[in-house]
Amino acid sequence: MQRYLDHNASSPILPCALKAWQEAAVNASGNPSSMHWAGRQARRVLDDARDVLADYFSVESGAVVFTSGGTEANNLCLAGVLGKRTGAMCISSTEHPSVLNTATALCKQQQRPLVLLKVNQHGQIDPDDVCAQINAETAMVSIMLANNESGVVNSLADVGAYCRSLGVPFHVDAVQALGKIPVSFNGVKADFLSCSAHKVGGAKGTGALIQRRGVLLETWMHGGGQERKRRSGTENIAGAVAFAAALNQCDFSACTALRDHFEQVLLTAMPDIVVHGAAATRLPNTSFFSVPNMDGETLLMQLDLAGFAVGSGSACSSGKREPSHVLRAMGVSNPLARSSLRISFGAEHTTEDALALVAALLRVRRLLQKMAGIP
C-alpha cells in the first residue's frame, strides 16, 4: 500500500479543482487579451477566479497578480521592490530558497547589504528584534508566515505595523500557511503576499502575488503588459480557476489531532526522537523531527521502499547533502539536522496511516541499526 505524507511539498489536486480546471480549459480557451467573444469569455472566467482570491484576502481584484507559482511570486516581489528602493534587504534566516536565494543573488548584484534575521530555538523570529534591525532606510522586509520544513508559524502583525509606520515595504511568503491556518493580508499589514495553488489542492504551476494598492513594484517581466503590466505573459486561466476552487475547499483542520497523536505514539515508541518546533505554534499538518544517529535521507529511502512518501529536511546541492538551513538557524547540531524527516498530513489521512508510519519507522530503524552492527 502506498501512502503520500508529503503535502507540504505538494498537495494532490482536489476533485473540485480538477473539475474546474477541465471546464475552464475547455470553455475558456480564448486568450483573455483578445477583443472577440472568445477572449471576453476567457477574461470573465479569469476575473471570476481573481475575485475569489481578492475576497479571500479582503482586497480589491486589482491587487491579485497571477503568477506561475510561489517561486515566481517571490521573485516578482523581491526584484520588483528592490528595483525601486535603495538600502538593506531584511529576510529571516529560515526563508524558503525562493526568497533566500533570490535575495542573496539580488543583493550581490546590486551590492546592497542582506540582513538575515535570527530565529529562536523554536524557529520563530522575535518581532522586537526584527523591529530593532530595521529603519526608514531599509529597502524591504520579507518574512514567511509559516515555515515549509518545521511548520512553525511566525507572529508578524507587529513587524508589519512597524514597517508600515516607517514606509518600508513588507512582504509575506504565505505559500505554506495558506489553507492551513487563517491568513490575513490586512491583519499582518503586508504590502505583498505570495501564495501557490498546489499547496492547497490546486494545480501545479499557478500562484499569485497580492499587492497592496499604492505600493510600488517595478515591472521586470516585460511583454504584452498582462496583469496590469506587472506580469506579462498569457494567463494560465485553468490554473487560476482551479486555484480559486481549491482555496475554498481545502481543509487541514482535522490534521492537528492526527499529527499530535502521531507524535505522541512516535515518542512513546522512540523516546530519543527530537521534534523540532514542538513548543511553537505550528501548521496543523506538519511534524518535523530527527531520529538520532540515523541519516534522514536513508530513512526516507527505506520508508519509500515501504510505500511511505515523506520529506526530509536536507537540501541536495551538487551531490553534497547539506543539513537543513532551517534547523541550523534553530541551533540544531549538524548530525541531528542530517537525521531529520518531515511528515505532512492531509485531510485524507487517518489514525491508521499515522500508526502504520510509526511501525514502519521502527522497523526501518531496527533494520538500519542491525546493518550497522548496533545492538
Q: Give yes or no for residue 172 binding ligand PLP (CB under 6 A).
A: no
Residue 98 or 154 having the CB closest to ligand PLP: 98
Q: Give yes or no for residue 171 binding ligand PLP (CB under 6 A).
A: no
Largest CA distance in the chain: 74
Q: Locate cell 518546533: which residue?
A: 277
Alpha helices in 208-294, H assignment, sequence order: 226-229, 237-247, 255-269
Tell me how far apart the terminal alpha carbons of the chain are, to the nearest angstrom.
30
E-state strands within 9-100: 64-67, 89-92
Shortest approach of ligand PLP to residue 113 CB, angstroms? 23
The answer to whether 5 and 349 have CB atoms below 8 angstroms apart is yes
Residue 173 or 263 having the CB closest to ligand PLP: 173
| Whether 131 is catalytic | no
CA 33 to chain centre: 30
Q: What is the pairing mode between strands 340-344 and 286-290?
A: antiparallel
Q: Give yes or no for residue 365 binding ligand PLP (CB under 6 A).
A: no
Q: Give yes or no for residue 207 binding ligand PLP (CB under 6 A).
A: yes
C-alpha torsion 359→365→371→375, nearest 10: -100
Residue 42 or 246 having the CB closest to ligand PLP: 246
Burial class of residue 271 in the structure, from the number of CB atoms within 10 Å of its CB (0-12 exposed, 13-18 middle, 19+ buried): exposed
Shortest approach of ligand PLP to residue 195 CB, angstroms? 9
Shortest approach of ligand PLP to residue 196 CB, angstroms? 3
Closest CA to 234 of 24, 26, 30, 25: 30
Residues 128-147, one symbol each (x = binds ligand PLP by CB under 6 A, - = not), give ----------------x---
Q: Locate cell 545492538: which residue?
A: 375
Shortest approach of ligand PLP to residue 93 CB, angstroms? 14
Shortest approach of ligand PLP to residue 68 CB, angstroms? 8
**CB atoms closer than 10 angstroms to residue 270:** 15
Residue 125 or 360 having the CB closest to ligand PLP: 125
Shortest approach of ligand PLP to residue 255 CB, angstroms? 16
State which of positions 55-84 bind ligand PLP (CB under 6 A). 69-71, 74
Please state at what angle helix 237-247 crosses helix 37-56, rounded to 10 degrees: 30
Residue 42 or 235 having the CB closest to ligand PLP: 235
The number of residues that bind ligand PLP (CB under 6 A) is: 13
Residue nearest to ligand PLP (CB): 70
Which stretch, 170-178, 223-231, 244-252, 352-360, contacts ligand PLP (CB under 6 A)?
Answer: 170-178
Can you give the binding site for ligand PLP, defined by CB under 6 A? 69-71, 74, 96, 98, 144, 148, 173, 175-176, 196, 207
Active-site residue list: 316
